[in-house]
Amino acid sequence: MKSPIFAANWKMNHSPADATAFIRTFLANFGKRQDRSVIFFPPALSFGAVVSALKDRPDIQLGVQNIHWEDKGAFTGENSAPIARGAGAKYVLVGHSERRHVFGETEVETGKKVAAAVRAGLTPVVCVGETLAQREAGETVSVVLGQLRAALGTLSGADAANAVIAYEPVWAIGTGRNATPADASAVHHAIRAELHAFLPSGSLAVPILYGGSVNRGNAADLLAAPEVDGLLVGGASLDAEGWSSIVLT
């Protein structure tokens, strides 16, 4: 019996006031329950509003969408892992496709961010995924496993066993074209096998989420696929009623 994770990546959406209103509606729909976990990733400036709105719901977790790899210093505009932890984050997205492809984040930087997250006591949600060209060239598994190794390579086995992985094919993010449950499952199996190769006893503890054009209509089928331990949702997490119905899938 799975206890799935539902993670909402709001990207650059929802002001503090919008975020507060969203959480109020969501809490009216979603009572405390043991059989699923919910994580919100609000934009940094709305983070405090969500912390306040969730003050009576410690069952719901929070994460930030990005961190710098240094703990502090002269990096104007950036936020560090210790700052995120101090603000109430438990998770951080690392290696999201928009960080890699819009902001040019490299695999080396992704690895350093994962290490910074772990140093500060944050759980990294490591996002991996191939482009359409890579999929069509038959490179999906090698690309995804390469990203996985680069992200987790500097961690001890115990720290790597505390990570979360999100398989998010780049061609599926924000396009309305999700991976089929079978395609997602196949890549999740490859990720699980790779985790098992360097984390023999801890690999099963690492949840593997699927992300990419998840919506109310496809969430149940994707969640039912073998090795899919939860969903990372962008666009369909922006509407409180719609997100409630996905979380209650």
Binding mask 159-198 for ligand PEP (x = CB under 6 A): ---------x----xx------------------------
110 binding ligand PEP? (CB under 6 A): no
Among residue numbers 3 through 32, which ones bind ligand PEP (CB under 6 A)?
Answer: 9, 11
Distance of alpha carbon 172 from its chain centroid, rounded?
Answer: 15
Residue nearest to ligand PEP (CB): 234
129 binding ligand PEP? (CB under 6 A): no
Q: What distance in Å separates the CA atoms of residue 127 and residue 13, rounded to the nearest whole number?
A: 20
Binding-site member from 46, 213, 227, 230 for ligand PEP (CB under 6 A): 213
Minimum distance, C-beta of residue 29 to ligand PEP, in the bound complex (Å): 20
In a 13 Å sphere around the CA of 180, the CA atoms on its Cβ side amount to 3
**Near ligand PEP by CB under 6 A, which window of 64-72, 73-81, 111-119, 233-241?**
233-241
**Are residues 91 and 42 in contact, defined by beta-carbon separation less than 8 angstroms?**
no
212 binding ligand PEP? (CB under 6 A): yes
Phi, then psi, of 100 in degrees rounded to 5: -70, -45
Q: Strand pairing partners for 68?
A: 80
Which residues fall within 8 angstroms of residue 192, CB to CB, at 6 or more apart? 203, 204, 208, 227
Q: What distance in Å separates the CA atoms of residue 94 and residue 106, rounded to the nearest whole number?
A: 11
**Are residues 208 and 163 in contact, defined by beta-carbon separation less than 8 angstroms?**
no
**Near ligand PEP by CB under 6 A, which window of 115-123, 135-143, 184-192, 232-240?**
232-240
Please identify every residue annotated as catalytic. Answer: 96, 168
Footprint of ligand PEP (CB under 6 A)? 9, 11, 168, 173-174, 211-214, 232-236
